[in-house]
């Protein structure tokens, strides 16, 4: 039986002395070498990886939460001594140091294996907009791997690494999770540092985590999260008197969009699976409430119709001015529109967004989380080639609003279509409710009785408890 790379299994093996980090590195490299060459843009050298393993082997595995855990890094996040390309060869540079989030994980004992393929400049939800090729979907290579964090998702689903970092501005950490049977955590904005990450929309970007189960996502999150003064958008979770809403409780209320606000783009299989997942949540004791999803959809439309594309232009303005043909043609067509908008347009859209934000606030007094499909459908690659912009846009129907509205979310697998393709839903709550969402995702994942990634193994450890302590304090009105 193939060794599962979920964190619990590896940790148990390390603690029992069944294997050492160098054994795992050798196994990782063997799995990568025998797999799809489009998943990775660069893999660190065996020599350097074994040197890291050797250093870990001088330590007690019990002292490091991610001792010897191999992980992948989307190639728009810096790893020291490796090139960063953002899937654009002309943009390539060598990273002098780890991005903060990589440094955090390394300090916790994890080993970054290499850099994974992506939709160029993290622009896309499809995973096919890369000069480095298309990482094959882990279940059926005729179908999209999902993007933009395509390689990160596929590498985890195939068991090449335990978890992987993605980025998620508009859905890039969730859509590929859905299409590859993974948990995809899109943390609260600013919880993971974006220092050392190539910006997409700098005001909205999040580093995300692909994992086999919610427990692994939680473990990686807790090691990765750190306030970072070098990232202007870094935030600490406020210590607030809202614990009942931020912590998991039995019998919480969840919102679902009203039926006419759902859109499956004709995909009956995905519709059926969504209804099943909602039923599963109810059978777990959560209370369903139909909510008005329209302000979320309106905010989602702002992202691509509004001025935020100017942020993508800002991020690569030198390259796009000097060498426009360095860009993937679809990426170029999208990003070059960013120069058109005026500052008046930008403020106008920001006012609209603020109104949508305000409109959604009362909802969070009524419900504890929202549950939507992660994506409405799953296209074949050839379908997207025929209509690359519209079908990509369809995939963002349930994802584009998330960072604009300052929400946290977790994509979780819940079932498979008759064609054996994975489906999942996304649970959503305000920023800094990440831990609650991971608990919900875990309950649902366990109830769905699915194996991890492409494996036949079902490993679902209990999550670590929510950190609480009781204090007597003065409340300021």
Out of 109, 124, 295, 307, the only residue in the binding site for its own copies (CB under 8 A) is: 307
Site string for its own copies, 121-150 (x = CB under 8 A): ------------------------------
Stretches 26-34, 121-129, 224-232, 272-280: which one binds its own copies (CB under 8 A)?
224-232
Q: Which of residues 423-462 bind its own copies (CB under 8 A)?
A: 432
Q: Is 250 in the site for its own copies (CB under 8 A)?
A: no
Return the residue of 238, 285, 329, 465 that touches its own copies, per CB under 8 A. 238
Task: Give the span between the Cα atoms of 48 and 54, in whole angstroms.
Answer: 10
The span from the CA of 76 to the CA of 113, in Å, is 14
β-strands 163-167, 207-211 pairing: antiparallel
- Residue 423, phi then psi, degrees to nearest 5: -140, 155
Catalytic residue among 4, 150, 172, 223: 172
What gap in Å lies between CA 410 and CA 438, rounded to an integer? 7
**Distance between CA atoms of residues 259 and 22, nearest Å:** 52
CA 291, CA 455: separation in Å to the nearest integer?
A: 36
In contact, 53 and 70? CB cutoff 8 Å = no
Please state, in angstroms and rounded to a whole number, the distance separating the CA atoms of residues 286 and 358.
Answer: 26
Q: Does 322 bind its own copies (CB under 8 A)?
A: no
Residue 254 or 313 with smaller CB distance to its own copies: 313
Q: Is 465 in the site for its own copies (CB under 8 A)?
A: no
- To the query of whether residue 172 is one of the catalytic residues in this protein, the response is yes
| Neighbour tally for 95: CB within 10 Å | 17
Contact 476, 445 (CB under 8 A): no
Nearest CB to its own copies, comparing residues 93 and 347: 347
CB of 350 closer than 8 Å to CB of 405: no
Residue 308 CB, nearest approach to its own copies (Å): 8
Question: According to the binding rule CB under 8 A, does residue 365 interact with its own copies?
Answer: no
- Contacting its own copies within 252-291 (CB under 8 A): none
Q: Which of 74, 115, 186, 443 is catalytic?
A: 74
- Is 455 known to be catalytic? no
Of 4, 148, 195, 223, which is the active-site residue? 148
Q: Do 44 and 114 form a contact (C-beta atoms < 8 A)?
A: yes
74 is a catalytic site residue = yes
Q: Which residues are annotated as catalytic?
A: 74, 148, 172
* Residues found near its own copies in the complex (CB under 8 A): 202-203, 229, 231-234, 237-244, 246-247, 307, 310-311, 313-314, 317, 338-348, 350-351, 354-355, 357-359, 361-362, 432, 466-477
């Amino acid at each position: 039986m193939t060794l599962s790379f979920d964190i619990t299994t590896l940790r148990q093996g390390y603690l029992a002395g069944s294997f050492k980090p160098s054994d795992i590195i050798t196994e990782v490299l063997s799995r990568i070498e025998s797999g799809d060459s489009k998943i990775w843009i660069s893999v660190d050298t065996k020599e350097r990886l074994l040197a890291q393993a050797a250093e870990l082997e001088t330590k007690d595995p019990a002292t490091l939460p991610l001792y010897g855990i191999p992980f992948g890094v989307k190639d728009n996040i810096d790893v020291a001594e490796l090139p960063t390309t953002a899937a654009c060869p002309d943009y390539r540079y060598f990273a002098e140091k780890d991005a903060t989030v990589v440094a955090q994980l390394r300090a916790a004992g994890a080993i970054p294996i290499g850099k994974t393929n992506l939709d160029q400049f993290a622009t896309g939800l499809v995973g096919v907009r890369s000069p480095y090729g298309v990482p094959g979907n882990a279940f059926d290579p005729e179908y999209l791997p999902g993007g933009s964090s395509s390689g990160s998702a596929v590498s985890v689903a195939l068991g090449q690494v335990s978890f992987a970092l993605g980025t998620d501005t508009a859905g890039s950490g969730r859509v590929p999770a859905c299409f590859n049977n993974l948990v995809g955590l899109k943390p609260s904005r600013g919880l993971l540092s974006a220092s050392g990450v190539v910006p997409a929309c700098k005001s909205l970007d999040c580093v995300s985590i692909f994992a086999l189960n919610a427990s692994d996502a939680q473990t990686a999150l807790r090691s990765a999260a750190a306030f970072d003064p070098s990232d202007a958008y870094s935030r600490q979770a406020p210590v607030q008197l809202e614990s009942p809403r931020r912590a998991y409780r039995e019998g919480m209320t969840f919102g679902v969009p009203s039926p006419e606000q759902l859109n499956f783009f004709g995909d009956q299989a995905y519709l059926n699976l969504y209804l099943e997942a909602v039923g599963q949540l109810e059978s777990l004791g959560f209370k369903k409430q139909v909510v008005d999803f329209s302000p979320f959809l309106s905010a989602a439309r702002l992202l691509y119709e509004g001025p935020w594309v100017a942020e993508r232009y800002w991020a690569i303005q030198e390259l796009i001015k000097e060498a426009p043909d360095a860009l993937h043609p679809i990426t170029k067509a999208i990003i070059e529109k960013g120069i058109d908008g005026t500052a008046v347009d930008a403020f106008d859209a920001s006012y609209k967004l603020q109104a949508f934000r305000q409109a959604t606030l009362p909802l969070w007094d009524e419900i504890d989380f929202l549950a939507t499909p992660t994506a409405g459908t799953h296209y074949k690659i050839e379908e997207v080639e025929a209509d690359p912009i519209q079908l990509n846009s369809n995939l963002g129907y349930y994802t584009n609003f998330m960072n604009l509205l300052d929400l946290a979310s977790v994509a979780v697998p819940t079932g498979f279509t008759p064609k054996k393709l994975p489906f999942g839903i996304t649970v959503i709550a305000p920023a800094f409710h990440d831990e609650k969402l991971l608990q919900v995702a875990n309950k649902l994942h366990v109830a769905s009785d699915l194996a991890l990634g492409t494996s036949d193994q079902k490993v679902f450890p209990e999550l670590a408890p929510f950190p609480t302590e009781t204090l007597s304090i003065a409340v300021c009105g």
